[in-house]
């Protein structure tokens, strides 16, 4: 599988995990030391992957994931990639910029910076 296909797979698995409330699947998309930074334009919240996964709605309360998210891969180097993701989660739209790293042949999300929209 090409780097681009592997990166798209990780991001689609992330979107699916968010949409279904599947915390273990969400955690599997991230490097263990990853950081998630969120803003709504008025405040900033920094989270670990564990905190982020713990804040997911339960599977029963989660939405069914939408079709395909709007995904743009800006750049891929040998072991780093940058992706823009626009989607909906928990009834709100968001735009996120994801940094991915490849370690041992496996692409993982290293950081996410996202803004919630109304």
Class assignment of domain 3-117? Answer: alpha beta
Q: Which has the minimum average pLDDT: 6-10, 30-34, 70-74?
A: 70-74
CA distance 71 to 74: 10
Number of H helices, E strands in the chain: 3, 6
CA distance 95 to 92: 10
Q: What is the pLDDT of residues 87-107, one digit of tens each?
A: 887 677 889 999 999 999 999
Report the Cα 108 to chain-centroid distance in Å.
10
CA distance 6 to 36: 21
Residue 33's pLDDT band (boundaries 50, 70, 90)? Answer: very high
Exposed, middle or buried: residue 100 (CB in 10 Å: 0-12, 13-18, 19+)? buried
Given a cut of 60, is residue 63 above it in pLDDT? Answer: no
* Predicted model pTM: 0.87
Sorted by where each begins, the domain ranges of the chain are 3-117
Average pLDDT estimate for 36-57: 90
Exposed, middle or buried: residue 82 (CB in 10 Å: 0-12, 13-18, 19+)? middle
Given a cut of 80, is residue 24 above it in pLDDT? Answer: yes
Nearest Cα neighbor of 69 from 96, 99, 102 is 96
């Amino acid at each position: 599988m090409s780097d681009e296909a592997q990166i798209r797979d990780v991001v689609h698995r992330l979107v699916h995990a968010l949409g279904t409330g599947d915390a273990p699947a969400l955690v599997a998309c991230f490097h263990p030391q990853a950081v998630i930074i969120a803003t709504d334009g008025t405040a900033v919240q920094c989270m670990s992957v564990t905190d982020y996964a713990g804040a997911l709605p339960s599977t029963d309360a989660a939405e069914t994931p939408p079709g395909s998210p709007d995904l743009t891969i800006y750049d891929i180097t040998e072991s780093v990639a940058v992706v823009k993701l626009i989607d909906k989660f928990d009834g709100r739209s968001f735009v996120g910029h994801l940094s991915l790293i490849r370690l041992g042949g496996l692409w993982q999300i290293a950081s996410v910076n996202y803004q919630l929209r109304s």
